[in-house]
Amino acid sequence: MSTIDQSALFRKLPSTDELLRHRDIQPLIERDGHSAVAEGARGVLARLRDEISAGLLDEKSLDLALGGLPAAIERQLRESLSYSLQPLINATGVVLHTNLGRAPLAASALDHICSTAGLYSNLEFDTATGERGKRDIHVDRLFQKLLDDDRVVAGLGPASAQRSSAISTIVVNNNAAAVLLALNSLAESGEVIVSRGELVEIGGSFRIPDVMTKSSAILREVGTTNRTRLADYESAINERTRLLLRVHRSNFEITGFTEQPALIELVSLARRRNLPLMEDLGSGALFDLRSVGINSEPSVLDSLRTGVDVVTYSGDKLLGGPQAGLISGRADLVSRMRSNSLFRALRVDKLTYAALEATLLAYVKRDHDAVPVLRMMRLSKDAIAHRAEKITSSVGAAQSKSALQLDLLNGESVIGGGAAPSAVLPTRLIALTHSDLSADELNARLRTSTPPVIARVEEGRVLLDLRTVFPEQDATLVATLASLT
| Angstrom distance (rounded) from CA 427 to CA 358 | 29
Q: How far is the CB of 279 from ligand PLP (least distance, A)?
A: 9
Contact with ligand PLP (CB under 6 A) among 52, 152, 187, 202: 202
Closer to ligand PLP by CB, 404 or 420: give it.
420
Name the segment binding ligand PLP (CB under 6 A); options: 15-23, 227-235, 245-253, 265-273. 245-253
Outline where DSSP puts E strands in 253-361: 277-282, 310-314, 325-330
In the three-class reduction of DSSP (H, G, I as helix; E, B as strand; rest coil), residue 439 is classed as helix
Asked whether position 325 contacts ligand PLP by CB under 6 A, the answer is: yes
Query: Which is closer to ligand PLP, CB of 48 or CB of 176?
Result: 176
The smaller minimum CB distance to ligand PLP, of residues 104 and 325, is found at 325
When asked if residue 384 is in the footprint of ligand PLP (CB under 6 A), the reply is no
Size of the site for ligand PLP (CB under 6 A): 14
Q: Give the nearest distance from C-beta 208 to ligand PLP in angstroms.
A: 8
State yes or no: residue 279 binds ligand PLP (CB under 6 A): no
Of positions 90, 314, 359, 413, contacts ligand PLP by CB under 6 A: 314
Going from the C-alpha of 321 to that of each of 170, 313, 401, the distances in angstroms are 15, 12, 44
For residue 444, what is the enclosing H or E element? helix 439-447
Q: What is the per-residue binding string for ligand PLP in 6-35, x denoting contact by CB under 6 A?
A: ------------------------------
Which contacts qualify for 150-157: CB closer than 8 Å, 24 or more apart? 151/305, 152/301, 152/304, 152/305, 154/305, 155/267, 155/304, 155/305, 155/306, 155/307, 155/308, 156/304, 156/307, 156/309, 156/330, 157/271, 157/307
Does 280 bind ligand PLP (CB under 6 A)? Our answer is yes
Dihedral angle over CA of 31, 35, 41, 42, nearest 10: -170
To the nearest whole angstrom, how small is the minimum distance from the Cβ of residue 32 to ligand PLP?
37
Closest residue to ligand PLP, judged by C-beta, is 282
Minimal distance, residue 243 CB to ligand PLP, in Å: 16
CA 254 to chain centre: 25
247 binds ligand PLP (CB under 6 A): yes
Distance CA 355, CA 416 (A): 21
Q: How far is the CB of 419 from ligand PLP (least distance, A)?
A: 7
Nearer to ligand PLP, 208 or 222 (CB): 208
- Long-range Cβ contact pairs of 19-22 (< 8 A, separation 24 or more): 19/45, 19/69, 19/73, 22/69, 22/70
Residue from 112, 220, 248, 387 binding ligand PLP (CB under 6 A): 248
Q: Which stretch binds ligand PLP (CB under 6 A): 129-137, 149-157, 242-250, 256-264?
A: 242-250
Q: Which residues of 416-427 are buried (b: 16+ CB within 10 A; e: fewer)?
A: bbbbbbebebeb
Give CA–CA dist 418/248, Å, rounded.
9
What is the spatial distance between Cα 138 and Cα 205, in angstroms, rounded to a whole number? 31
For ligand PLP, the binding residues in 389-418 under the rule CB under 6 A are: 418
Shortest distance (Å) from residue 179 CB to ligand PLP: 6
* Residue whose CB is less far from ligand PLP, 12 or 196: 196
Residues in the chain, overall count: 485
**Alpha-helical segments (H) within 156-259:** 158-161, 175-187, 208-214, 230-236
If the CB atoms of residues 419 and 446 are measured against ligand PLP, the closer one turns out to be 419
Distance CA 385, CA 381 (A): 6
Q: Which of residues 170-199 bind ligand PLP (CB under 6 A)?
A: 174-176
The residue within the footprint of ligand PLP, chosen from 90, 215, 228, 283 (CB under 6 A), is 283
Query: CB 172 → ligand PLP: shortest distance, Å?
Result: 9
CB of 331 to ligand PLP, least distance (A): 23
- Going through 239-394 in order, the beta strands assigned E by DSSP cover 241-247, 277-282, 310-314, 325-330
Is there binding between residue 282 and ligand PLP (CB under 6 A)? yes
Phi, psi of 310 (to 5 degrees): -140, 130
Residue 449 is a binding residue for ligand PLP (CB under 6 A): no
Name the residues that contact ligand PLP, by CB under 6 A. 174-176, 202, 206, 247-248, 250, 280, 282-283, 314, 325, 418
